[in-house]
Structure 1
Amino acid sequence: MILSTKNKVGLVIAGLLGLADIPAVLMPTPDGEVGPPFGILVLGSICGVITVIAVVVGWTKANRGAIRVAAGARIVSMLTALPAFFVDVPAGIKILVTVAVVLTVISVVLMLSPARQTAPVTD
């Protein structure tokens, strides 16, 4: 299997989102402020690490299983961000969450789009 340009673009977007998720656990919500619980931050960081590893494996080995794992990790991370739309948080946070959700959907669609098949060798 050969990765298409669409697959590679999706992997790059997912990898960047994963890298952005990793430090989440290092920035807990201060006491008295509205923000995600610490458990969600830990889950986000774990999803980020899984995404980055799966993207590297998926890209280097053209491994569809790893690409599916990356897509799954991005979806879980996206789902943990959705409550921001239903609580009272600053508009800037909602915009960032919207951008992350849209980029996640784009990356998953691109990653899971059919890749080019290797051409059979003829003599």
Structure 2
Amino acid sequence: MSTTTNTRTPPTWTTTNRVGLVLTLILGLGNGASAFFPTPDGEVGPPFEVLVADTVLAVVVVVGVVVAWMRGSRLAARIAAGCAMLIAISAMPAFFVEVPPVVKALAGAITLVTVLACGLMLAPAKRKA
């Protein structure tokens, strides 16, 4: 009976990956307090349920990025990227309702930064020899 040992080493993060991880972490931290600042009555904004969902997803993003960075886990990076994209998708209704142009511009900018950060974070990493 032969036993095989998994000698494959975890991937090392390139500078590109690290930039993506840091950007994703910043986005996650920025969205982490969403539920604590609900939309005031009478103003247009996301429903409280969406803010709570964004906060929960942001916590997953932060934990995923930290685990990915510390352990070299590509799976944790993928989970963080998926949750970050869900947060960005939750901002999409801003383009279809009457909100100030600044809000639309901010939602667009955050969405673009999220896509960029996830792309950088998930770029192929170098493997140790």
The TM-score by the shorter chain falls in which range? over 0.9
What's the counterpart of residue 8 of structure 1?
18
- RMSD (Å) for aligned C-alpha atoms: 0.6
Query: How far apart are 1:30 and its partner, in Å?
Result: 1.1
SS in 2 for 1:36: coil
Any gaps of 5 or more consecutive residues in structure 1?
none
- How far apart are the structure 2 equivalents of 1:38 and 1:111? 30
Structure 2: stretches of 5+ with no match in the other structure: 1-10
Distance 2:65 2:59 in 1: 10
Q: Which residue of 1 aligns with 2:45?
A: 35
Aligned-residue identity in percent: 44
TM value normalised by structure 2 = 0.90
What corresponds to 2:54 in structure 1?
44
Q: 1:73 Cα deviation (Å)? A: 0.6
Q: How far 1:67 sits from its partner (Å)?
A: 0.3
Which structure's residues are more often helix, by fraction?
1
Kindly provide the amino acid, as one letter, of the partner of residue 123 in structure 2.
S
Deviation at 1:97, TM superposition (A): 0.6
How many residues are matched? 119
TM-superposition CA deviations, 1:86-120 (whole Å, max 9, x none):
1000111111111100100001111111000111x
Off by >2 Å, runs of 4+ in structure 1: none
Give the greater-gyration-radius structure (CA). 2
